[in-house]
Structure 1
């Protein structure tokens, strides 16, 4: 009598052991699969349109008083020196508004401001800088300028290396785009698992919670449930959930190849009962939306 064994391997997207051509091939495959997931996500959004707009308005209402953006802030004056005014015409709010983040927002609720986010590296310098102006060339130029700015002027501390940091740089007032930059940085710290407390940098803390969660998924996923789906090979899925301001996981609503697998992943995520310190914004606990991509490789050996 033949016996069947189902092997499940959870892997993250690491390309380090492959040649350059292999890396490109894997990257293209990954992008196609993520594209498929995003199409599935449009059929099952995490937030309704109203919830997304309310969340956006609430987030802005929290951000603005903390950042205190001003046309004459030190950061604004720095950019007025190093960024030519004509470059502001390259900012394309239409492209930004059409992006997946804001494409469902009504014009009356979108606030027409642009932020740059970054993290603090080991040397205390800005790293992993990101901005969307709707123009890639301008994005690169702004990041290049920002990296020359003395970060201590934003009120940052050594402990802020554990957070993702945001500053406003631009705003549209009437028909004109102006430099209206933050006086202070806003620091968003991710949720921290008890086992991840020794991690110091944002990327380490963020990676740790996902790694621990997937170890838990691997140990608790129902092999019978997966085997009954008759799926084999590598499948990609997108866990989505919230860690609330009390450190509890809520509202799991993942994207997966079918509803049965989705429900199984959501069940496991919601049963994850490790002690979690909630995410914070400038040291104030807050709800944190979490998402990532992972793969499960299912092999059936006879």
Structure 2
């Protein structure tokens, strides 16, 4: 064992349920000589196939996408975030490749994924799926009116979490003999292949176990199960609640901020009138909104001269997004009201809102804003992007400086790539809290937690004009040779 190299990446935390490599071999007929493979061989620079970093426990590069009601792909993602140039090229080429070549009837309620590149042990090969893998979330009657993949997942997830939140007898905690301030209910439920809800992992005080099992049994909804290329598959949801004796936990399903009351969206302000004059009825009608995803929002930053940049939307239509961004850049922002103009703010406003069964133009009368935590050394950042980069760099450099590099080499770990994931939150006072870690050795876990707990206090994140607690994950990758 010679050396240990540390590579660090920082991102916000999220869960995802991955699809196994063998599903692509079984259901998508990958072929190095099909239409998509030949198209990429002709148009993708071959140097990009060198030194590909694959996801953990995988030797495939996967491209996933969804389609809007115009049958145009959006949310095009690649499963490996470290191959920036490759990912950028693949996304561009995929957008220019006709979906009709796949001979698959596409559905807004499904997510699709394609094997693009595979590794046979010695080299990387363009070996694309002939047909996409089709994925659909569990569904039930209460969410069956929704037309989009992500919205169905949100709706089902929310219904399940609300069921437990409203049904658990939190007063059971009163009989627990513990000096701990917090009671933690940590469990996993799954919708099985038959559409039945079950508890599979239950990490709670003993007194709550029977209660949670009974609640699960009483949940009489029958689901359409999670489907992978029409094959029913188990799908899991992780539920964690923390609360103190005598108190019910705060639901994390809804944001605890009244954004509308603060930023006052309506259809009669200057910005709304400008978009009503310049968007067509077809634009507004075809905004792909519904009761769950009820707003098409626009986001932007301001440079030192007050001009907007990094303008984006959450639109499911790239054409509509481009039109809205183009119009916004021509708008005179001096007509808008900004309640707070901190240079690290990121601003937002709805543009189109779904209300009472139809879409209409609605924008904020006061420009909405949010802000990430700011460490003292980042206070001179000139915009949100600089602030975010400084935040990430501060944590990265602090971790590298404080981490005991000799430790990883002395633990007898097997050669190869290892990963540490440190989860933490920065609370409403800017202090690091709730630090947790997943690591290949207990001493690495202990060391990582020790370091993150020593981070300098920051100015807290801001959401809806109020300080907010916000969570992050620090992924650490190192090679043991």
- Within 1, Cα distance between the matches of 2:265 and 2:334? 17
**1:57 equivalent among 254, 265, 286:** 254
- Within 2, Cα distance between the matches of 1:238 and 1:175? 43
**2:288 equivalent among 70, 86, 92:** 92
1:284 Cα deviation from its structure 2 partner:
3.4
1:119 Cα deviation from its structure 2 partner:
0.8
Q: For the structure 1 residues 54 and 272, does the alpha-carbon distance in structure 2 shift closer, same or farther, using more than 3 Å as the test? A: same
- Within 2, Cα distance between the matches of 1:298 and 1:184? 50
Higher Cα radius of gyration: 2
Structure 1 match to 2:269:
73
Compare the two structures and name the one with the higher helix fraction: 1
Secondary structure at the residue paired with 2:266?
coil
User: Is residue 2:428 matched to residue 1:232?
Assistant: no
Per-residue CA shift, 1:66-113, capped at 9, x if unaligned?
22110112111110111112112221136xxxxxxxxxxxx6xx4722
Secondary structure at the residue paired with 2:394?
helix
Secondary structure at the residue paired with 2:299?
strand
**2:5 equivalent among 5, 8, 15:** 8
1:273 Cα deviation from its structure 2 partner:
3.2
Worse-superposed segment, 242-251 or 152-161:
152-161
Unpaired runs of at least 5, structure 2: 11-44, 56-77, 83-234, 242-249
1:58 Cα deviation from its structure 2 partner:
2.5
Is 2:258–2:464's contact at 8 Å kept on the other side of the alignment?
no
- Within 2, Cα distance between the matches of 1:262 and 1:171? 48
User: Is residue 2:427 matched to residue 1:244?
Assistant: yes
Alignment of 1:158-169 (within 5 A): 159-169=341-351
Unpaired runs of at least 5, structure 1: 14-19, 36-41, 95-106
Between Structure 1 and Structure 2, how many residues are aligned? 265
Structure 2 match to 1:104:
none
- Within 2, Cα distance between the matches of 1:45 and 1:194? 35
Relative to the length of structure 1, the TM-score reads: 0.71
Is 1:114–1:132's contact at 8 Å kept on the other side of the alignment?
yes
User: Is residue 2:479 matched to residue 1:298?
Assistant: yes
Structure 2 match to 1:38:
none
Q: For the structure 1 residues 148 and 26, does the alpha-carbon distance in structure 2 shift closer, same or farther, using more than 3 Å as the test? A: farther
**2:461 equivalent among 268, 279, 291:** 279
Is 1:242–1:250's contact at 8 Å kept on the other side of the alignment?
yes
